[in-house]
Amino acid sequence: ERGISDMMVIHDCFAVHATHAAALSTILREQFVDLHTPHRLQELKMQFERYGPALPDVPERGDFDISSVLDSEYLFA
């Protein structure tokens, strides 16, 4: 969709031609934010409780703004 025609993926490593490095960097940040925005632990708790007893409350989230990753210089996931 973003004009990257050649991309190589091995496990959790991604590679593109140097001309597409900036686009890949943006895409990875966007996907990281999309992946970590929902409260996954709360979702998992709710799924388990459908089939078993109530579980303890999940810890509250901190105050880190995950969207700040979009403007970061580096991203290590």
State yes or no: is 12 an active-site residue: yes
CA distance 47 to 34: 20
Phi, psi of 26 (to 5 degrees): -65, -45
Exactly one of 12, 63, 65, 71 is catalytic; which is it?
Answer: 12
- Which residues does residue 16 pair with via DSSP β-bridges, in sequence order? 7
Helix/strand/coil for 24: helix
CA distance 58 to 70: 27
Q: Which of the residues are catalytic?
A: 12
